[in-house]
């Protein structure tokens, strides 16, 4: 089972339909997202690791897929992701072990795709 690309594929069309219905909301979200993820005192990789851990806590498969991909794109290592997920497990208990495992699988899936030389499209605004 895949927890990365398949989840993103499943959500693509419903997300586009909603974005067309409420473009102002999505534009505001895109702007906030860009500001929140911009490098500052915390680098983008750290912010993706935080987001991935929060996605596990929120039990959001779409968020997990997006931020697992973001973690790969920002250069996170498998061990960095594992440690971030360990914190998510500590904060969320049993459900963290389920969604943490999904997040780790999604990260590895995107990491494997990234290392095989395949061309990747850039992440869509408002992932």
If we measure between CA atoms, which residue out of 25, 74, 79 comes closest to residue 51? 74
If we measure between CA atoms, which residue out of 50, 39, 58 comes closest to residue 96? 58
CA distance linking residue 85 with residue 80, whole number of Å: 9
What pLDDT, in 10s, does the model give residues 67-122? 999 999 999 999 999 999 999 999 999 999 999 999 999 999 999 998 865 544 44
Q: Are 106 and 68 spatial neighbours (Cβ–Cβ below 8 Å)?
A: yes
Sign of CA dihedral 14, 74, 48, 61: positive
Q: Are 77 and 111 spatial neighbours (Cβ–Cβ below 8 Å)?
A: no
What pLDDT, in 10s, does the model give residues 41-72? 999 999 999 999 999 999 999 999 999 999 99
Q: Are 108 and 16 spatial neighbours (Cβ–Cβ below 8 Å)?
A: no
Q: ∠ CA 113-46-96 to the nearest 5 degrees? A: 75
pLDDT value of residue 105:
97
Residue ranges of the domains in the chain? 5-115
> Domain 5-115 belongs to what topology?
AhpD-like (1.20.1290)
Burial of residue 101 (number of CB atoms within 10 Å: 0-12, 13-18, 19+): middle
What pLDDT, in 10s, does the model give residues 11-41? 999 999 999 999 999 999 999 999 999 999 9
């Amino acid at each position: 089972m895949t927890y990365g690309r398949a989840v993103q594929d499943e959500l693509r069309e419903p997300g586009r339909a909603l974005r067309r219905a409420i473009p102002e909301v999505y534009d505001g979200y895109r702007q906030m997202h860009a500001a929140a993820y911009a490098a500052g005192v915390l680098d983008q990789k750290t912010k993706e690791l935080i987001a991935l851990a929060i996605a596990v806590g929120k039990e959001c498969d779409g968020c997990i897929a997006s931020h697992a991909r973001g973690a790969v794109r920002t250069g996170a290592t498998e061990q960095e992701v594992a440690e971030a997920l360990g914190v998510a497990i500590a904060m969320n208990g049993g459900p963290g072990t389920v969604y943490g495992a999904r997040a780790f699988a999604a990260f590895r899936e995107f990491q494997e795709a990234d290392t095989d030389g395949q061309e990747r499209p850039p992440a869509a605004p408002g992932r």
